[in-house]
Amino acid sequence: MFPAASKDRLAPERGNTTSDMPVAVDTGRAALLKLENITKIFGGVKALQAVKFDVMPGEVLCLAGENGCGKSTLIKVISGVYQPESGAVMLMDGQSIEGLEPAKARDLGIQVIWQDLALFPEMTVAENIAFERNLGPRPRLVNYGQMKVAARRILERLGVAIDLGRSVRSLSIAQRQIVAVARALVADARLVFMDEPTASLSHAETKALLTIVRRLSVDGIAVVFVSHRLAEVLDVCTRVTVLCDGQYVGTFPTAGMTQTRLTELMTGRTFDYAVRTTDLSAAPVVLKVEGLSRRNEYDAVSFCVKKGEILGVTGRLGAGRTELALSLFGMTRPGAGAVSLDGKKLSLGSNRDAIRAGIAYVSEDRLQLGLVQQQSIGDNTVAAVLDDLLDATRLIAPGKRDALSRDWVQKLAVKIGKPQDAVSTLSGGNQQRIVLAKWLATNPKLLILDSPTVGVDVGARAGIFAIIHKLAEQGVAILLISDEIPEVYFNADRILHMRNGRMVAEYVPGTTTIDQIERDVHA
């Protein structure tokens, strides 16, 4: 029903288009960090096998590969969390660093900023930035004055201003990223690993963060950038080291590299980019939105989605896209306007009303809102249709539950161990497939997808969009929300541009260039 994807429709070709594959390069310079023959085995499975890695002082290097390729394992070896198997060679400034532990790694200037940032939300900006200055074998009084001085000095070095007395909980994701970078610098970092630093950032916030990365490079601090956003990788990095299935593919210059070529190196597959050409002239309207408004969120929004159509909605962060989606799913009530589904006016008092009407919603935050991480894969898959699984005693029938879960795992080709395993054990791409399965089990007429590929690697994205295209072919109306313009350009039949709560433009991919849409959105 849902075949594995063979085409990637995420991004346009950028850069040169030479036919020869790029060759790995040797800079000839003395490396800040150099690794050889790094192998790591977990329970007989080789997570890393004879991997090579090096980074130069002040270099911005990309570490690329699909989820599960070994990137995180390699970073944990370098930061002393894991010990490699015997035979590994690890050199810092040409000196062996055998028996590396986290504390020793920090002393050497190796810092890791993980995707979850590992900040203390109730503590202030200053406390988060400078707390390591108060760590030691013995407790001591905290000098808040010195802490603020150190934090202010680092933020000035980065060229940003954040209130030092604010709690981290009150900051935006972009500001928290800056706090995490500042904390690394206070610890005298010489090598900083940044794991998916832009996954939750808008275009403008991403641009500001990349400016900071370049500033670190100028100051002689090496940065290893891990990102699924390949355009950013090619923009900010000078070289890229590629891993595939735990093995070293090579290290390549980004000059002349394209997103397509890099994707092929990461996945070992060839991808094709093409806009959709679906004839929807005779298709009936499934969703009709007329003059929908909600104070301070969106205003006078009108559009329609036809049966089998994928309608893209893009715009800057804060444009009101998610707020609109929440109202269409019954989570918030609009102040004015009307919504119709299959020609019938809707009055949604809750998300349960929306589900009963035939609307499904995949949230942009699958970790907090899309899945219950501690619960099993099977339980997450059937979470939206529990009423359909009740037996005569009004209890969930295990046989029905297991059969439905097994059916959707098979249909969406989800790679799992056992249905009883926690959903948190899955990769990002497979977690997103479970989110899709949960809502597809409700048999929706309208599927709202809010940033469905956040934190998902390029190969897994292709599989997810293959599923979405198949759903559209089967007649599901799809509202695809994304601030990744290439994502909507190569996957939507039409694109709406939302700005400051209003729909300001409509585009048809193929008749409008992607560059024109990007200029309009980021103007």
Residue type, 47: A
Which structural domain range is residue 337 located in?
285-521
Residue 11, pLDDT score: 40
Cβ atoms of 336 and 293 within 8 Å: the answer is yes
Instruction: Give Cα separations from 249 to 29, 48, 235, 244, 343 (angstroms).
Output: 21, 12, 21, 6, 54
Span 173-204, pLDDT tens digits: 889 989 999 998 888 899 999 988 887 677 77
- Domain boundary residue among 186, 208, 224? 186
Which residues of the chain carry a pLDDT beneath 70? 1-29, 133-140, 200, 271-272, 366-369, 455, 457
Same domain, 182 and 290: no
Q: Would residue 473 count as lying in a domain?
A: yes
Q: Residue 509 is part of a domain; what is its CATH number?
A: 3.40.50.300
Instruction: Give Cα separations from 74 to 50, 83, 338, 376, 442 (angstroms).
Output: 11, 10, 53, 28, 40
H-type helices in 139-254, by residue range?
144-158, 173-186, 203-218, 230-236
Q: Would residue 198 count as lying in a domain?
A: no
Identify which of 385, 459, 455, 469 has the alpha carbon closest to the alpha carbon of residue 415.
459
Q: Would residue 199 count as lying in a domain?
A: no
- Domain boundary residue among 139, 168, 186? 186
> To 10 degrees, what angle do helices 173-186 and 144-158 make?
110
Same domain, 168 and 315: no
Neighbours of 245 (CB within 10 A): 14
Q: Would residue 137 count as lying in a domain?
A: yes
- Domain boundary residue among 160, 186, 212? 186
> How many domains, the chain?
2
In angstroms, rounded to a whole number, what is the distance separating the alpha carbons of residues 233 and 237?
6
Residue 210, pLDDT score: 92
Structure tokens at 191: 């090598």
In angstroms, rounded to a whole number, what is the distance separating the alpha carbons of residues 285 and 305?
6
Neighbours of 159 (CB within 10 A): 11
- Predicted TM-score of the model (pTM): 0.65
Q: Would residue 236 count as lying in a domain?
A: no
Same domain, 372 and 482: yes
Q: Would residue 342 count as lying in a domain?
A: yes
Which letter does DSSP use for residue 167 in this model?
Answer: B
Same domain, 497 and 387: yes
In angstroms, rounded to a whole number, what is the distance separating the alpha carbons of residues 287 and 177?
38
Span 463-520, pLDDT tens digits: 888 889 999 999 999 999 998 888 899 999 999 999 999 999 999 999 999 888 988 8
